[in-house]
Chain A
Amino acid sequence: MSAQREHAIVTEDLSLWYGDFQALDGVSTRIRDGVITGLIGPSGCGKTTFLRCLNRVNERYGNVRTEGMIDILGKNIYDDDVSLIELRKSVGMVFQRPNPLPISVYENVVFGLRIHKRRSELSKSVLDQAVEEALGEVRLWADLKDRLHDKETDLQLEQQQKLCIARLLPLKPDVILMDEPCSALDVEATTAVEELMRSLAGQYTIVIVTHNMAQARRISDDCIFMLLGNIVEQDRTEDLFLNPKNEKTADYIEGRYG
């Protein structure tokens, strides 16, 4: 199905206010299906806010008002019949600081399944298989297969972040949102997580917020440059970095402001 679809996420005139402060000002964009889209821009430009709109998790915090339309995989997520539970099941999020739950590796991976499937569907073999698949997909299986029942706190940060990605996978998400997923990691761990993202591209639509220009260039297929709550430029990553059409984009990616 995703093969025929060109755009996974379409927003139209999306505006958002925190109280009186307008964080997003009429954002309209199309994000291609099955590729990695990077969101870049200086701090406070609305990247993270935009990301958080895509699974409507912004609404959990009080005093937030949204206007406009967000269409994910052909469905307006502000429609009345949309269930936030179902939406967040298929639009997962990875955070800046790895935030595995304080339970074992195994339980972290099956946490979502245990919530979203009936108990009768969850035999031990189903769970075991889900863990092996998810950890395999994030390349943790080899390292952790003998430590599945260790507490997450015994893991290195890189492993924790991969675990946070792995726990989304058993729910078969369509979209994975990542909010600066590598900023707490060192160079090697960053490389490992970036490789992982590349390997996930194609199966999932990934939107990643990053402050690291080099990273955006390395991993994203498309790139969106935001400034003051609006999109300034959006293009294939190569084109955006080599031939920015907007002067502000050029200034930003050359590091004249940040």
Chain B
Amino acid sequence: MNDSQRFTKTTFTQKKESREKWVKVLLFMVTLMMALAVILLVSFLVHKALPVLSLNFFPDIPRDLMSAGGIWPAILGTIYLVVLSLMVAAPVGVMAGIYLNEYAKDNWLTRLINLAVINLAGVPSIVHALFGLGAFVMFAGLGESVIAASLTLAVMTMPVVITSTREALSAVPMSFREASWNLGVSRWQTIRGVVLPNSISGILTGVILEVSRAAGETAPIMITGAAASITFRQGETVYYLLGEKFMALSYHLYYTSMGWKVPDKLPNPETGEMVPMTQAALEYAQAIPYGTAVVLLGVVLLFNSVSIAFRYYLRTHRKW
């Protein structure tokens, strides 16, 4: 072989190198298409929602049989759901995850619990809804209410939190724990001082996923307490008691786009006489589901970015 031809492509290598290029292009194109799909989805929603998207849409109550006004009660309901279900699912899930990963011995009971957790994560949400109806609404006597729906969501999302907590914990190298144990540090102190600080971002990722699911799920809340519409008086402060029915973005979106027709006539507030809707009012009413969808996306995004910011803070400061 001539030295100048050393390491140059043979026809056989040529084939492999061109395949290498094509694979890279293909993977990039697929990734790009996925990103495009997301952009298209969001811009489609925003475009359709344009007639309602104004600063009045968020803090206003629904009016004129939900064909006008805003969606503040639904936003508030979703915030209730997310916060309440998170308050239950996050601590319980994380604690169970810590127990299972750090303390539990590998015996039949642990394996049984693991199996149950994995299967629970795979149960369809409508089945959780039925469970919530039986357990919280009827058996516990909470009635159709914010608290019953939140607890149902908490049960639904807990397995995800447990699983992701366990994954985050088991990603912490065993040598960290060994180093700590061999300085006479107790198990809990090791978890608190070494394991958790190094796994907190993974754990929070699981919680973030939980938030998005809790905010978006419709099935579990439909039969445990969400109301299609609740009439609020003009100027009244909107709030829910834990035992009350409530409105939520996901169900509002479902109801306004599926079960509900835009009324073609509305009563005149002064005379009570039925008058046809104007073109502008009709367009507004038809855009409400899209506006709701945009707000739902926004709420999820907001919760997520708060968690991500928190996670970033913990990662960069890492002293707690």
Contacts and interface: CB of A to CB of B under 8 A. Distances in A.
B24 interface: no
Contacts of A1: 1
Given A73-B3, A74-B3, A75-B3, A86 B8 contact: yes
B3 A86 contact: no
Given A73-B3, A75-B3, A83 B8 contact: yes
Task: Give the interface size bracket for A toward B.
Answer: 10 to 19
Nearest to B10: A86
Interface in B22-61: none
A6 B17 CA distance: 32
B248 to A, nearest CB: 45
A83 B6 contact: no
Nearest to A74: B3
A75 B16 contact: no
A83 B17 contact: yes
Interface string B223-242: 00000000000000000000
B229 to A, nearest CB: 54
Contact of A74 (B6, B8, B10, B12): B6
B175 interface: no
A82 B13 CA distance: 11
Contacts of B6: 72-75, 90
A83 B16 CA distance: 10
A87 B9 CA distance: 10
B107 interface: no
B7 A82 contact: yes
B1 to A, nearest CB: 8
A87 B12 contact: no
Nearest to B20: A85
A237 B5 CA distance: 33
Nearest to A77: B7
A77 B9 CA distance: 13
Interface string A16-35: 00000000000000000000
Interface centre among B5, B6, B9 (most CB of A within 10 A): B6
A171 to B, nearest CB: 13
Contact of B13 (A72, A74, A75, A85): A85
A72 B3 CA distance: 9
Interface residues of B, number: 13
B13 A83 contact: yes
Interface string A73-112: 1110100011101110010000000000000000000000
A256 interface: no
Contacts of A60: none
A112 to B, nearest CB: 13
Nearest to B12: A118
Nearest to A116: B12
B4 interface: yes
A73 B5 CA distance: 11
Contact of B4 (A75, A77, A85): A75
A86 B13 contact: yes
A74 B1 CA distance: 11
Nearest to B14: A83
A85 B8 contact: no
B9 to A, nearest CB: 4
A82 B1 CA distance: 15
Contacts of B9: 81, 83, 85-86
Nearest to B2: A74
Contacts of A81: 8-9
A34 to B, nearest CB: 16
A175 B5 CA distance: 17
Shortest beta-carbon contacts, A-B, top 7: A74-B3, A75-B6, A83-B9, A86-B7, A87-B7, A82-B7, A81-B8
27 contacts: A1-B1, A72-B7, A73-B3, A73-B6, A74-B3, A74-B6, A75-B3, A75-B4, A75-B5, A75-B6, A75-B7, A77-B7, A81-B9, A83-B7, A83-B13, A83-B17, A85-B13, A85-B16, A85-B17, A86-B8, A86-B9, A86-B10, A86-B13, A87-B7, A90-B6, A116-B12, A118-B12
Interface of A: 1, 72-75, 77, 81-83, 85-87, 90, 116, 118
Interface of B: 1, 3-10, 12-13, 16-17
Given A73-B3, A75-B6, A86-B13, 17 more contacts: A72-B6, A72-B7, A74-B6, A75-B3, A75-B5, A81-B9, A82-B7, A82-B8, A83-B13, A83-B17, A85-B9, A85-B16, A85-B17, A86-B7, A86-B8, A86-B10, A90-B7
